[in-house]
Structure 1
Amino acid sequence: MSGRDGRLGVGIVGAGRVGPVIGAALAAAGHAIVGVSAGTDDERDRVEGMLPGVPQLAVPQLVERSELVVLAVPDDQLVELIAGLAALGAWQAGQLVLHTSAQHGTAVLDPARAAGAIPLAVHPALAFTGTSIDLVRLRDAWCAVTAPGPVLPIAQALVVEMGAEPVVIAEEDRPAYADAIAAASQFSTAIIDQSVAALRAIGVEQPGRVLGGVVRSAVENALQSPAVDSIDR
C-alpha cells in the first residue's frame, strides 16, 4: 500500500448505508478519512453519526485529496461517476480506487485505470443498516474481492483490516456472484415479510421477536448442511 506506514488518506464517495460504515471500519484500522460526499439531509446525518468531524466535500475535491477512493454508490450511478471524474482529469496515477458494487468487477474502473489509478472491486456480503451495528456484523462477513493479480493482496489486506474475510471472485464471475447475493437477500426478505404479516393477522404484537430465533437457527442449519460443506471443500 501507499501512504506512510501503510496508512492511507481515504475519501468516501457516497453516504448511503454502505459508505460511512466502510469509512468507519477503515478509520478503526488506522486509516485517515479525509472526507465524505453527502447529498441529502439523511446522508449528512448518517455521516455525523458514523464519522463525526469528518469533512463533507464535493466529489472532485474528495478524489483530489485521497490516496484511496471508495465509491459506495448505487450500480446505476457508478459508470457515469467514474467516467465523469475521468473527463475532469480527477483520477491520479498510483491512487487506489475501490468500488463496493456486487455486480461489477474492475472493468468498470477502466477510465480511472487509464489515468494510472489502481482498480479494486470489494463487495461486502452484508445487508447494511448504515449504523454501528454493521461494524459488528462486518467481523463475521465475507467480501468478494476482484483485482488485477499484482494488486490483489492490497484489496485482501483492506478487507482483513476492516475485520472481514476476503473471497476472490473472478472478473467474469461477478454477475453470477451478484445474482446469488440478490437471490438470498430478496428471498429472505420476502419470506420474513410474509411470516410477519401472518403473525400480525392473528394478533401477535411482536412478530419479529417470535420469528427471530427460528429464522436465525434455520439459516445457520442451512449454511452448515453437508451439501454446503461439500461445496466449500
Structure 2
Amino acid sequence: MSQSHLPRVGFIGAGRLARCLALAFSRAGYPVTAVASRTPASAARLAAQIPGCAGYDAPQQVVDAADVVFLAVPDDSIGTTAHTLRFEPREVSAKALVHCSGASPVELLAPARSQGAAIGGFHPLYLFGGEAADLERIAGCSVTIEADGALKDTLTALAVALRCHPLSIPPGGRMLYHASAHYAASFALCSLAECVALWRTLGFAEDDALRALLPMLAGTIETARDKGLPNALAGPVSRGDTGVVQKQLALLEGLGGDHAALYGLMSRRAVALAQRRVTPPAAIGDIAEVVEESLSRSLNQAAAGASVK
C-alpha cells in the first residue's frame, strides 16, 4: 500500500510507549502527523524526531490532524480525555480513537463512538524502557487488539508493521488478560526478589544472587520457548523427589511468614505442569499430597495470624 493510502497516525501522550510506537510507525512508512502531551516540551521533542509531525498542546489538535488517534495516557485519564474530544460529522467515517491500555475497557472510548468514530484497543505486550533500543526489541512481541471491521484490519496492519504478532481479545476480557500477564513480568521479578530475600539469610549479597539467578532464568525461558512449559520444568517436582519437596516445605514453614505458602502454591502449579508430560514422574501423586498438606498448614497459620491482628 502506498503511503498516500495509509492512515495518518497521531498520539495523545508522549511517554515511553508513545515514543516507541510513533517512531516505529514512522520508520515503517506510516505518516505520523501529530503528538500532544500535558507537557508541551515532551510533545515537541518527539515531533521533532519524526518527519512531517507537529507537536501540540491540546489533544483535540491531534484529532483534527490524524485519522487513527492513539490515547497513550494513564488508565485513569482515558475516559476523561475521551469525553473532551470532538469528531467532525463529515470526517468520522475515516476517524478512529484507540487506547493502549491492557486493562481498561474499550467502552471508555464510547463518547467517540457516539459521534461516529471507530474505537479500539491496541496493547503491545512489552515493557518499554524509554530507550532507543525499544525500537528494535519490540519486534517479535505480541500486540493485543480489540476492534471490529475496518479498524481491526488497520490495527492488525500496524502491528505487523512493527514486526509484532497481532492477537485478538474479546470484549470484556482485558482485565483478566492484563492481570494474568503480570506472571510473566512483575511477578517474575517478585519470584526473584523472594529468592534474593531467602539467599540473603545465607549471606549472599543481592548483586551476587542476581548474577547467579538471571542466567538460570534466561535459560529457563529459552527452554520453554524450545520445548514448551511441561518439558522445561526442572527441580524436585519434575524429578519426582518427594523427600526433597517435603524437606524444603518444612524448612520454609519453620521460617514463618508466608514463605511456605508461596512456595506451596507455586509447587502446586509445578505439579500440574509435571502431570501434563507424556510420562509424568511416578511419584507425582505423593508430591501433590505433600504439597497440599503443607499448604493446609501454612495457609491456616497465615489466616490465624491475620485474625490475631
TM range (shorter): 0.7 to 0.9
The CA distance in 1 between the partners of 2:40 and 2:129, in whole Å, is 17
CA distance in 2, matches of 1:99, 1:228: 37
> Which consecutive residues of structure 2, in runs of 5 or more, have no partner in the other structure?
233-272, 277-309
Tell me if structure 1 keeps the 8 A contact 2:120–2:146: yes
Maintained 8 Å contact 1:63/1:90 = no
Written as runs of structure 1 = structure 2, the 5 A alignment for 1:1-233 is: 5-40=4-39, 43=42, 47=46, 51=50, 54-57=53-56, 58-86=58-86, 92-93=91-92, 94-194=94-194, 202-203=204-205, 210-223=212-225, 224-227=227-230
Q: 1:98 to 1:204 in 2, by over 3 A?
A: closer
Equivalent residue letter for 2:85 = L
Identical-pair percentage: 26
Structure with the greater alpha carbon radius of gyration: 2
1:98 and 1:122 in contact (8 A); partners too: yes
Partner SS, residue 29 of structure 2: coil
Rounded Cα–Cα distance in structure 2 between residues aligned with 1:228 and 1:60: 52
Q: Distance in 1 between matches of 2:74 and 2:111?
A: 18
Residue 105 of structure 1 contacts residue 147 of structure 1 at CA under 8 Å; is this kept in 2? no
The residue identity in structure 2 corresponding to 1:115 is Q
Structure 1 gaps of 5+ residues are none
- The answer to whether the 8 Å contact 1:12/1:20 transfers is no
- Cα displacement (A) at 1:28: 1.1
Task: Give the residue type in structure 2 aligned to 1:216.
Answer: A
Count, aligned residues: 227
Distance 1:207-1:7 versus aligned 2 partners, 3 A rule: farther
CA contact (8 A) 2:3 2:30 kept: no
Query: Please, what TM-score do these two structures have when normalized by structure 2?
Result: 0.63
Measured in 2, the distance between the counterparts of 1:208 and 1:46 equals 36
Partners of 1:12 and 1:109 in 2: CA distance? 15
Once the two structures are TM-superposed, the CA of residue 59 in structure 1 deviates from its matched residue by 1.3
Q: Which amino acid aligns with 2:35?
A: V
Change over 3 Å in CA distance of 1:167–1:55 after alignment to 2: same
Give, in whole Å, the separation in 2 of the partners of 1:23 and 1:147. 20
Shift of 1:95: 0.6
Secondary structure of residue in 2 paired with 1:145: strand
